[in-house]
Amino acid sequence: MQTVTIIGGGLAGCEAAWQAASRGVPVRLHEMRPVRPTLVHQSDQLAELVCSNSFRGDKLDNAVGVLKEEMRRLGSLIIRCADQTRVPAGAALAVDRARFAAAVTAAITTHPLIDVVREEVSGIPAPGTTAGPVILATGPLTSDTLSEDIARFVGADHLSFYDAISPIVLADSIDRSIVFRASRWGRSLRAEHTEPEAAGPACGVDDGEGDYLNCPMDEEEYRAFYEALISAESATVHDFDAAQFFEGCLPIEVMAHRGRETLRFGPMKPVGLPDPRTGRIPFAVVQLRQDTLAGDHFSLVGFQTQLKWGEQARVLRMIPGLRDAEFVRFGMVHRNTYINGPTILRPTWQTRTRPDLFFAGQVSGVEGYVESAASGLLAGINAAHQARGLPLQEAPRESAIGALAYYVSHAEAKHYQPSNITFGIMPPLAEPPPRHGRGRQGPSKKEQRKEALAQRALAALEAWRADLPVAAPGAGA
Ligand SMILES: Cc1cc2nc3c(=O)[nH]c(=O)nc-3n(C[C@H](O)[C@H](O)[C@H](O)COP(=O)(O)OP(=O)(O)OC[C@H]3O[C@@H](n4cnc5c(N)ncnc54)[C@H](O)[C@@H]3O)c2cc1C
């Protein structure tokens, strides 16, 4: 029997190890702590939560709740330990972090098929040097030498060391009576040539290749927004080097501090964007770009920020058209090592060029504790199948776990950013839910849609799960 080699004993690595071992496949799990610490982890425990103690919503009315329910049904170790160590947190699943990490560590280190090796792995094991598949799950703080080797494997252009994320808002919450749809200089979707003046920095302004929603500002609105932005409170910097920003990806508040007009020459540049209702160029413009897979989400172009989340909501709702904006995700800037999933991965979490090599967790291009564990779960099942000579599995796209795998392997590569699970990355319903005689108390259309997506996801997951091969004889858990 082959052995699965897993590098990284975090949420993804532990879940992958558990899934493989539960299928009767021996696992060798390499974790570098405590021999080599990271600048964020504080203990030698496996699956240490580096920041919040929350696994977010636990109800089926939100996508991460559906993902957790699917993981429970698939025998997730991470969710089982989270359920066992939960603390009161309303509709969310939050845990006692020390008890949680201790529970995962105990389960992994006492499993007869899992061998934990405390050492740093400094390169991707070459083909044929391990006795089976390899899963790389070294997280956002992957050690430097291994990162260099990953960059060699995927190509330096396909490995990011930093996340500078712009906020994302729900399409439904944008006021269409105020914003107008246009690309700079009237260029439409997928124009062949990029307008040099509009090209802007890497994470910055309209690149002339998409259709944008534009929020026009007059001078008074701009001045008020500017004052609110420079006086808003920034989040505590978690990370040691988060203050060193790439010049092309500066947080908007840092740009604003450089001068009153800086934003008007950067992400809020209005040139080439006449408002069709007045025929005039607005004083400033905030552009919103549609996410190609999640059509009901729009990100604020070039608005990466580290303002506190409450402050982001307050200040960004001053933008015309965003007064009632619902934020799917707030902006942030932090250290994050991750590959460009759509270029590198298949939905099985294998790499496209080396089928015995899998990525899982944050380094694979997902975002969040639950998503990291979910990717480890599928990578673990598939590595175990490969070790046993069984066919590899793609989870159904309608399920939350399958939608996440599809997003990471198929989203648009050029603007790729790690994503949390959301209903927006699941395929739309074939038919919108029927309006049943809704009184004031009845569910809204949005609630009915979420419920229908959740029920469809669980049904698809069940059908798929029923066909999964059973564990090898004698697999102990
Ligand atoms: C500062 C910070 C705060 C975050 N806060 C949150 C949050 O509040 N909520 C949330 O949902 N997500 C958060 N995330 C994102 C993400 O969900 C977590 O980082 C999560 O722990 C990722 O799980 P993982 O298994 O991919 O990586 P990790 O849990 O980090 O596990 C990776 C493991 O690999 C080990 N390792 C690294 N390099 C090597 C090597 N060369 N050899 C052997 N072992 C190695 C590390 O020591 C680590 O134990 C945060 C990320 C960061 C960086």
Residue-level pLDDT at 158 = 84
pLDDT at 66 over 70: yes
pTM of the shown model: 0.77
Residue with the smallest CA separation from ligand 1 atom 11 is 368
- Better pLDDT: 39 or 254: 254
pLDDT in tens, 457-470: 999 999 999 999 87
What average pLDDT does this structure show over 303-331? Answer: 93
Looking up tokens 């932005």, which residue turns up?
A: 229
CA distances in angstroms from 403 to 76, 135, 375, 422, 424, listed in the order given: 18, 20, 11, 9, 10
pLDDT at 209 over 60: no
Q: Which atom of ligand 1 is nearest to the CA of 364?
A: 26
Q: Which atom of ligand 1 is nearest to the CA of 14?
A: 25
Question: In the sheet that 134-136 helps form, which strands lie side by side, from edge to edge?
Answer: 114-117, 27-30, 4-7, 134-136, 357-359
Residue-level pLDDT at 200 = 30
Contact 382, 74 (CB under 8 A): no
DSSP class of residue 258 equals T
Q: Is 9 in the pocket of ligand 1 (CB under 6 A)?
A: yes
Q: Which atom of ligand 1 is nearest to the CA of 119?
A: 43
DSSP E strands: which ranges in 80-170? 86-87, 92-95, 114-117, 134-136, 159-165, 168-170
pLDDT in tens, 112-149: 999 999 999 999 999 988 889 999 999 999 999 999 99
Q: How far is the CA of 266 from the centre of ligand 1 (A)?
A: 33
Residue-level pLDDT at 166 = 85
Q: How far is the CA of 42 from the centre of ligand 1 (A)?
A: 12
Q: How far is the CA of 188 from the centre of ligand 1 (A)?
A: 40
Domains and CATH numbers, the chain: 4-162+336-434+444-466 (3.50.50.60), 167-330 (2.40.30.260)
Residue-level pLDDT at 102 = 97
Q: How far is the CA of 54 from the centre of ligand 1 (A)?
A: 14
Question: Alpha-carbon distance 394 to 108, whole Å?
Answer: 26
Q: How far is the CA of 11 from the centre of ligand 1 (A)?
A: 7
Q: Is 302 left (phi over 0), alpha (psi -120 to 50) or beta?
A: left
pLDDT in tens, 333-347: 777 899 999 999 999
Q: How confident is the model at residue 191 (pLDDT cuts 50, 70, 90)?
A: very low
Q: Which atom of ligand 1 is nearest to the CA of 13?
A: 25
Q: 383 is written with which tokens? A: 């590595």
Q: Which atom of ligand 1 is nearest to the CA of 52?
A: 8
Q: How confident is the model at residue 198 (pLDDT cuts 50, 70, 90)?
A: very low
Question: Alpha-carbon distance 294 to 345, whole Å?
Answer: 19
| Beta-carbon-side half-sphere exposure of residue 1 (alpha carbons within 13 Å) | 19
Peptide bond preceding 276: is omega within 30 degrees of 0, i.e. cis? no
pLDDT in tens, 377-415: 999 999 999 999 999 999 999 999 999 999 999 998 987
Weakest mean pLDDT among 140-154, 171-185, 246-260: 246-260
Q: How confident is the model at residue 70 (pLDDT cuts 50, 70, 90)?
A: very high
The residue count of the chain comes to 477
What average pLDDT does this structure show over 223-238? Answer: 85
Q: Find the helix or strand (DSSP H, E) in which 449 lies.
A: helix 445-466
pLDDT at 243 over 80: no
Q: Is 366 in the pocket of ligand 1 (CB under 6 A)?
A: no
Mean pLDDT of the chain: 88
CA distances in angstroms from 131 to 26, 30, 157, 393, listed in the order given: 10, 15, 30, 21
Q: Is 402 in the pocket of ligand 1 (CB under 6 A)?
A: no
Q: Is 32 in the pocket of ligand 1 (CB under 6 A)?
A: yes
CB atoms within 10 A of CB 3: 18
Residue-level pLDDT at 91 = 84
Ordered DSSP codes for 291-324: -SSSTTEEEETT----B-HHHHHHHHTTSTT-TT
